[in-house]
Amino acid sequence: MFDHFYHQVFRKTVIAFGTLFNGITIKRDGSGNDPSEVIQVPLAYGPTQKFLARIEQEPDLNKPVQISLPRMSFEFTGISYDNTRKLAATQAFTTSLKNDGKEIRRMYFPVPYNMEFELSIMTLLNDDALQIIEQILPYFQPNFTLTIDLVESIGEKRDIPISLENVSFQDNYDGDYNSRRVLLYTLKFVAKTYLFGPVPDSSKDIIKKVSIGLVGGEYSTTASRGLIYKEPIATRSYAGNLVTNLATDITDTLAILEVNNASNIPEKSYITIDDETIYVRSKNNNTLTVTRGAYKTDNVEHVGGSGIYLISSADNSLIIAGDDFGFGG
């Protein structure tokens, strides 16, 4: 839990919101021989107070007004959980990685959150403000929906409704004759976005293989997280299949055994000497490399000449099978 991941959901939603209002223009009709002019309204991220302070502190009042005004700014102001869009926490869906489209991943449904925004419109002339407002309001009835690729690795795109909650107006016309007039419209929006958890590794979450096979003890190879139906297997020689004898005495820790004849002992097999079961890893002529004490039997000393018995399928047939879950027909 709490492994690092970062889908940039908040960042993408903020950028998508700002893009909506990037490129708004106003038109001022000329009088007489003066041509009309079209001004693109600049948009920046930041609090309204910062831009108002900059306008008030501007010493050059003869500077062309459009360099400072009109201007728009927006700010991400809050976040809250939206329980009206909540789904069951245990519901999940399957998807595939975007890079190959083949590897399947299983993810839980996202968590709904609301992001709050404020868009501020600052103008000197009332007609400028009304032009900007009229280019925005018709699209919000009261929602405008954006499609955002929230989790790029799996191509998870979501429709994010952006709702217009409130429009307020303020006319800062107080002060002396040298004070600038600022018309300020504030629009409050709510973006209904979703947060996703980490994209899980399918090798750790999805069962890839189901098989039926013998229990090979601690040395068997099975699929990771695979479901294995385990049939009974002998852990010692019951049929008395004597294949050879020890050539020398061995201690309880010796992992190299010398035998009289190793031709009937295959590699990766199990043998029994007295009451100890031993795993044969490899052999070289009549020398065996083994792992002692297989199937939790005790490592003990053995004297030269002790019989070596091979555990085979004949020993398995002597084990009474339990419930086979219907696999036996």
Chain segment 30-57, per-residue pLDDT in tens? 665 555 788 888 888 877 666 566 555 5
Whether residues 191 and 234 share a domain: the answer is no
Residue 45: per-residue pLDDT: 85
Question: What pTM value is reported for the model?
Answer: 0.53
Helical residues (DSSP H) of 200-281, grouped into ranges: 202-205
Q: What CATH number does residue 311 fall under?
A: 2.40.30
Torsion of CA 303, 307, 308, 313, to 10 degrees: -150
Count of structural domains within the chain: 2
Q: What CATH number does residue 133 fall under?
A: 3.30.2000.40
**Does 306 reside within a domain?**
yes
Q: Whose CA is closest to 50, among 22, 16, 73, 33?
A: 73
Higher per-residue pLDDT: 147 or 67? 147
Mean pLDDT of 89-96: 68
Tens-place pLDDT, residues 222-247:
444 444 445 567 778 888 889 999 99
Whether residues 140 and 249 share a domain: the answer is no
Residue 188: per-residue pLDDT: 95
E strand segments, the chain = 25-28, 37-40, 43-45, 71-81, 92-96, 104-108, 111-123, 143-151, 156-172, 182-195, 210-214, 227-231, 242-245, 256-258, 269-273, 276-284, 287-291, 307-310
**Does 322 reside within a domain?**
no
**Does 280 reside within a domain?**
yes
Spatial separation of the C-alpha atoms in residues 245 and 259, rounded to whole Å: 6
Higher per-residue pLDDT: 177 or 326? 177
Tell me the Cα Rg of the chain.
39
Mean pLDDT of 54-62: 53
Residue 277: per-residue pLDDT: 92
Sheet strand arrangement including 287-291 = 242-245, 307-310, 269-273, 276-284, 287-291, 256-258
Spatial separation of the C-alpha atoms in residues 133 and 186, rounded to whole Å: 10
Whether residues 83 and 17 share a domain: the answer is yes
Spatial separation of the C-alpha atoms in residues 95 and 214, rounded to whole Å: 35
**Does 102 reside within a domain?**
yes
Whether residues 197 and 121 share a domain: the answer is yes
**Of the candidates 159, 182, 202, which is a domain's last residue?**
202
Whether residues 258 and 180 share a domain: the answer is no
Quote the domain boundaries for residue 256: 230-316
**Does 220 reside within a domain?**
no
